[in-house]
Structures are given as structure tokens and as C-alpha cells.
């Protein structure tokens, strides 16, 4: 069958069967398919242009239609629509060199009733071909529509769109499933449930989904992301890469979160799947990419956690305590600023991996069932050590129920595990057989408080308020001094034994510092000066009005910041 002229539209009907339509370059208003088995094909590349926006291509319920080898069906008007209304609920297949493309600065809209499916098979392509794609992709373009786009080896390419809305319209349901192949949404957020109410679902069953972030569009919608063997890859740095969805299910197959060299934050809880029939434990998650992935929520998935070729940071609030196995492999770093527990039946392993302990003031940082090491060099990195007592001392870092073979040799020496300590400290790791712990034994160093931000010099008007602050780790007490004399609260002084000193009604220049102490000793901050100036002229007039703040900018050097000369709200 030859398809050469359809300027008024093409209706493909008759009995279901197998029909290969040999195409040439042509223009048609729209294509409507009422029977199964039609495939557009060509021996050379050809383009079928659609010219009606609301009826670009529609496949009847229960029927299938294939765009095959060398054929591009191309929308050339605004808002190209696949499945013009909910009475169509068939399957469009894009396969083996077939393409559905849009070359106009507007949207591709996906409609159709329940059962509608667009399958992009190996060699198939759906997406933008040139220009600015202002209208984006809209999955679920009308109330009651329920399309699913399934990427099965092909490519769904978004390009320079402004939207990728899954569940676009009120009372619609949109679904994007990746079985294999690629979804390339590199320049946009993926918005699930964009309208009130709507349903947006992304299923990652395989392949790779690239996006700037995944978010929920409307509070009244339902947004779901299912991990089940696919890869979610970042295309930009984001402090809100994944968050605000109703649920993120970790299902049966191991899935990958790839930061792709960017720093990304996931505030969403990554949950063990509650979908009926799913396994317990689930497939777990693999974290990779040369950037840093931050988890800030309590995550409840129960399968393995694998860190490789990048950094996974739990910060002070992230938890993966439900994970049955944690493995930090070659090139991987797990950063802990919180206590990490594992089930006694679980395991924690390092294979040429690194664990960084940002706060070393817990009795134990890691509690696990089986502890294992492999490879040639595993590291526990401790950039800051604070605490009390005297040195030498031993602090348990890892509490285990059993050691895997090879962690220690016949003389109880750790074979591949060592510690990196901050400057000024010396020590080593030791296996405490009696307590079943890996201990950090400090042999040299100073456990006095560590100042991370010294007080800074300030200038204030006479009679107003000045504040000095210090930030430190491990301080049990603070003692502020003025010109070397210890202060006490009273008169115009408050906070003299806290990290924030407040001076009201200031009148004289002075130097201030603070002595910080704990049971191991003391440390003194650098000096910060208070300079008093007397307001005159315009400044005096302003201050007579008792402003909450009074910022003065340098009019000769725009690189200088503005300072609040009244209440110290510099930079606020």
C-alpha cells in the first residue's frame, strides 16, 4: 500500500490485519486510525506533516498503529495533540527508526481515555526537533484523559521546553514509564500532578530519566514516583531535586540515583513500597555520580544502600536505618553527621570506600550486624575531633555483632581499614574483641574547643547596641572579655557567658575576645574591636527618629558591604 496524498486527512480503517504503508513526503491535516495493524514505513527518510493542532494523530480504542522505519510524523502547528479526545484509547507505537516530532514553539499534548498508550520502542523517537519549545509536554490534556507514555528502548526528548507536566489538567491522569531507553528532560523540572485535582505518575522500571528536579505541581493532586530498576539522573545542581511528592516507592529491583557530577538534595522520604505484591525487602538504591547527594529525610526503604563513585551525605537529619545492607564501594564516600544504626541482621561493608564522620562525639557512630572490608584501602575520615577527657583515649566508632573474614589478620590487626585524622591529632584504629567494636585510639592531640568563626570587628553609633558572636565546637562554657577583663551580666552587658555578647548604650572604643572551655582545657578567640562614632548632620537627624536599623553604604567603593550602625543586623 502506498501513502502519497492525504491533504485532507487520512483515515485508516477496515479490518484488523497487517498493513505496511510505503510513505513519501506529504502533508495531511490529521491521521485517524480505526483498525489495528497499520505501519508507516519507507526505504528512504520521509516526513508526514500534520497541519491540524487538535487532531494530529488519534488511534481508536483497542487498536494499534505504528510509525516505522524512516518515517517522521511531524506536527507543524501549535499544540500538537496525540489522541484528540477521550473516545480514543488505542496504542501508538514508534519503532525502529520511526519518529513523532514537533517543530513548532508550542506543546505536545497527550490525551485519550483509559488504556491510551504511546510506546517508544528501540530506535523510536518522540520529541522536539528544532527551535524553542515553549508549551512543553502535557500528559493528560483534558478532564478524564489518562494517557501513558512508555519508553521501551527509544528516546523521549524534551529539549528547550518550559514544562513537563505529568497529570496536566484537572481530573486527568498522566503516566510516564521508562522500561529501557532514555527520557531527556535536561532543561526542565518534571512536574507531577500539575492541576487540582490530577494524578501524575513516573515509573522507573529501567532506562534513564534525566531531569533538573522532580516536584509536585498542585497540593490537591497526587504525585507518585516508583523506583523499580531504572535510573533517575540529575541534569543540574538543585537544593530541591526530589521533594514534596505524595510518595516515592522503592520497589523490587535495585534502582540508581545519579547526581551526574552535581550537588543535589533529596528532602523526600524514599519509602519501602506499599504496593500490593511487592517484595520485602525491596530492591534498594544505588547512589552514584561524582557530585554529592544529600538525603535529609527519614528513609524507610529496606533493601541495600550502595554508594559508588561519589558522595552520599546524610547531614544531621537524614536516616537510612531501615536499609538491610550498606556498601560503600570504590570511589564512594558516605558522610555521617548523625548516628547510624542498622538492623543486627544487616551488614555494613567497605570495598575501597570511605566513611566520613563529621561529628565524633557519640559513644558509637555505626551499629551493624556484620562488618566487612575488602579491597586494598578503606578509610574512616574524621575531619574534626571534639570531646572531653585526656589523651590517650579510645572511642568506639563501629559496633558490630560479627566480623566478616578478612577484616583482621591472625594477630587481630585491621587489614585494610585506617583512619585519617585532623591536623594535630595522632592515633590509629583497633579491633576491640571484648566489646565487639572498632575503636579510634587517640595518642596525641588536644580536645579543647575548636572555634569555627571568630568574632568580627564592628562600628556603631554612640548610645546604641553592639553584638559580638563566636561559633565553636565542643565548648561547654563561654567567658567574654573587654580589653582583657572578664565581663559579667549587668548594666549594659548581657550574654557574657554565652556565644552571643550584647552591649547596649555603647560609649567607648574597646577590644573584645572570648575564652571557651571544656573539661579538656580552653581556647581564646581572636580580638574584635568596637569602634564608636558620634552621629552628626544627616545621620544625627535619622537617628533621632529611633530607627530599627540604619544602613550606611560606601559611596566611593561599591565593593564594600553595607553595615547596620544601629542594631547590628549586618547582611540581613
The distance of Cα 129 from the centroid of its chain, to the nearest Å, equals 29
What's the CA gap between 140 and 218, in Å, rounded?
A: 15
In this structure, how many other beta carbons lie within 10 angstroms of the beta carbon of residue 280? 10
In this structure, how many other beta carbons lie within 10 angstroms of the beta carbon of residue 455? 23
Q: Is the backbone of residue 355 left (phi > 0), alpha (psi -120 to 50) or beta?
A: beta
Residues 565/458, Cβ–Cβ less than 8 Å: no
What's the CA gap between 233 and 211, in Å, rounded?
A: 7
Is the alpha carbon torsion for 75, 76, 80, 83 positive or negative? negative
What's the CA gap between 83 and 389, in Å, rounded?
A: 73
Question: Tens of pLDDT along the chain (572 residues)?
Answer: 445 444 557 888 999 999 999 988 888 878 899 999 999 999 999 988 876 655 678 999 999 999 999 999 988 666 778 888 899 999 999 999 999 988 776 788 899 999 999 999 999 999 877 645 556 889 998 999 999 999 999 999 987 767 899 999 999 999 999 999 999 999 899 999 999 999 999 999 999 999 999 999 999 999 999 999 999 999 999 999 999 999 999 999 999 999 999 999 999 999 999 999 999 899 999 999 999 999 999 999 999 999 999 999 998 899 999 999 999 999 999 999 877 877 777 999 999 999 999 866 666 789 999 999 999 999 999 998 887 778 899 999 999 999 999 999 999 999 999 999 999 999 999 999 999 999 999 999 988 888 999 999 998 888 888 999 999 988 999 999 999 999 999 999 999 999 999 999 999 999 999 999 988 889 999 999 999 988 777 777 777 777 777 776 665 555 545 666 666 666 54
Question: Residue 103: its pLDDT value, please?
Answer: 77
Question: Residue 365: its pLDDT value, please?
Answer: 82
How far from 541 is each of 218, 250, 538, 544, CA to CA, in Å? 50, 64, 5, 5
Pairing mode, strands 354-357 and 332-336: parallel
Residues 278/300, Cβ–Cβ less than 8 Å: no
Strands (E), 292-404: 292-295, 305-307, 310-313, 325-328, 332-336, 340-341, 347-351, 354-357, 366-367, 370-374, 378-381, 393-399, 402-403
What DSSP designation does 147 have?
Answer: -
Nearest to 206, CA basis, from 188, 222, 182: 182
Nearest to 293, CA basis, from 254, 320, 253, 323: 320
Pairing mode, strands 466-469 and 500-503: antiparallel
Helix (H) or strand (E) holding 94: strand 91-94
What DSSP designation does 322 have?
Answer: T
What's the CA gap between 286 and 124, in Å, rounded?
A: 28
Question: Residue 568: its pLDDT value, please?
Answer: 61
Pairing mode, strands 231-234 and 255-258: parallel
- Pull the grid cell for residue 388: 572531653
What's the CA gap between 282 and 26, in Å, rounded?
A: 51
- Pull the grid cell for residue 117: 498508550
pTM listed for this prediction: 0.86
In this structure, how many other beta carbons lie within 10 angstroms of the beta carbon of residue 561? 9
Residues 168/196, Cβ–Cβ less than 8 Å: no
Whether residue 522 is preceded by a cis peptide bond, meaning omega within 30 degrees of 0, is: no
Nearest to 335, CA basis, from 304, 366, 362: 366
In this structure, how many other beta carbons lie within 10 angstroms of the beta carbon of residue 558? 7
Question: Residue 268: its pLDDT value, please?
Answer: 97
Helix (H) or strand (E) holding 537: helix 537-543
What's the CA gap between 360 and 335, in Å, rounded?
A: 12
Nearby residues of 427 by Cβ (< 8 Å), 6 or more positions away? 392, 419, 421, 440, 441, 442, 443, 444, 445
Amino acid at each position: 500500500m502506498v501513502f502519497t496524498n492525504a491533504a485532507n486527512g487520512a483515515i485508516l480503517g477496515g479490518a484488523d490485519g497487517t498493513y505496511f504503508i510505503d510513505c513519501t513526503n506529504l502533508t495531511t491535516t490529521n491521521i485517524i486510525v480505526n483498525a489495528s495493524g497499520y505501519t508507516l514505513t519507507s526505504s528512504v527518510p520521509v516526513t508526514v506533516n500534520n497541519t491540524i493542532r487538535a487532531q494530529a494523530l488519534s488511534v481508536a480504542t483497542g487498536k494499534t498503529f505504528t510509525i516505522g522505519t524512516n518515517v517522521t510524523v511531524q506536527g507543524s502547528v501549535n499544540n500538537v495533540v496525540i489522541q484528540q479526545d477521550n473516545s480514543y484509547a488505542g496504542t501508538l507505537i514508534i519503532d525502529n527508526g520511526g519518529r513523532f516530532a514537533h517543530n513548532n514553539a508550542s506543546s505536545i499534548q497527550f490525551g485519550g481515555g483509559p488504556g491510551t498508550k504511546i510506546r517508544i520502542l528501540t530506535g523510536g523517537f518522540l520529541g522536539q526537533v528544532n527551535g524553542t519549545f515553549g508549551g512543553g509536554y502535557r500528559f493528560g490534556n483534558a478532564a478524564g484523559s489518562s494517557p501513558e507514555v512508555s519508553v521501551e528502548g527509544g528516546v523521549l526528548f524534551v529539549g528547550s521546553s518550559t514544562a513537563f507536566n505529568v497529570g496536566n489538567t484537572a481530573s486527568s491522569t498522566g503516566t510516564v514509564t521508562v522500561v529501557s531507553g532514555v527520557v531527556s528532560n535536561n532543561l526542565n523540572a518534571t512536574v507531577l500532578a500539575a492541576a487540582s485535582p490530577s494524578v501524575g505518575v513516573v515509573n522507573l522500571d529501567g532506562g534513564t530519566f534525566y531531569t533538573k528536579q522532580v516536584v509536585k505541581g498542585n497540593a490537591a493532586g497526587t504525585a507518585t514516583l516508583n523506583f523499580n530498576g531504572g535510573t533517575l539522573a540529575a541534569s543540574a545542581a538543585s537544593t530541591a531535586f526530589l521533594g514534596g511528592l505524595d510518595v516515592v516507592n522503592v520497589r523490587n529491583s535495585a534502582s540508581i540515583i545519579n547526581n551526574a557530577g552535581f550537588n543535589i538534595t533529596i528532602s523526600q522520604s524514599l519509602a519501602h513500597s506499599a504496593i500490593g505484591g511487592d517484595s520485602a525487602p525491596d530492591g534498594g538504591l544505588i547512589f552514584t555520580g561524582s557530585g554529592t547527594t544529600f538525603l535529609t529525610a527519614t528513609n524507610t526503604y529496606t533493601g541495600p544502600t550502595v554508594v559508588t563513585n561519589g558522595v552520599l551525605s546524610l547531614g544531621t537529619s537524614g536516616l537510612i536505618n531501615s536499609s538491610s545492607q550498606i556498601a560503600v564501594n570504590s570511589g564512594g564516600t558516605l558522610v555521617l553527621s548523625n548516628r547510624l544504626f542498622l538492623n543486627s541482621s544487616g551488614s555494613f561493608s567497605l570495598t575501597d570506600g570511605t566513611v566520613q564522620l563529621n561529628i565524633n562525639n557519640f559513644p558509637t557512630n555505626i551499629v551493624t550486624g556484620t562488618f566487612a572490608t575488602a579491597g586494598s584501602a578503606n578509610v574512616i575520615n574524621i575531619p574534626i575531633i571534639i570531646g572531653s577527657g585526656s589523651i590517650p583515649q579510645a572511642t568506639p566508632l563501629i559496633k558490630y555483632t560479627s566480623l566478616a573474614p578478612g577484616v583482621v589478620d591472625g594477630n587481630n590487626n585491621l587489614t585494610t581499614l585506617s583512619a585519617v585524622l585532623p591536623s594535630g591529632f595522632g592515633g590509629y584504629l583497633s579491633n576491640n574483641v571484648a566489646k565487639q567494636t572498632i575503636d579510634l585510639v587517640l595518642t596525641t592531640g588536644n580536645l579543647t574547643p575548636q572555634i569555627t568563626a571568630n568574632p568580627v570587628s564592628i562600628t556603631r553609633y554612640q548610645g546604641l547596641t553592639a553584638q559580638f558572636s563566636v561559633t565553636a565546637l565542643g565548648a561547654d562554657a563561654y567567658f567574654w572579655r573587654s580589653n582583657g577583663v572578664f565581663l559579667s551580666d549587668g548594666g549594659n552587658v548581657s550574654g557574657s557567658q554565652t556565644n552571643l555578647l550584647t552591649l547596649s548604650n555603647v560609649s567607648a572604643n574597646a577590644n573584645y575576645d572570648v575564652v571557651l572551655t571544656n573539661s579538656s582545657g580552653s581556647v581564646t578567640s581572636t580580638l574584635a574591636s568596637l569602634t564608636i562614632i558620634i552621629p552628626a548632620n544627616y545621620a544625627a537627624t535619622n537617628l533621632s527618629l529611633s530607627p530599627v536599623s540604619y544602613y550606611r553604604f560606601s559611596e566611593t567603593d561599591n565593593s564594600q558591604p553595607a553595615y547596620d550602625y544601629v542594631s547590628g543586623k549586618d547582611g540581613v
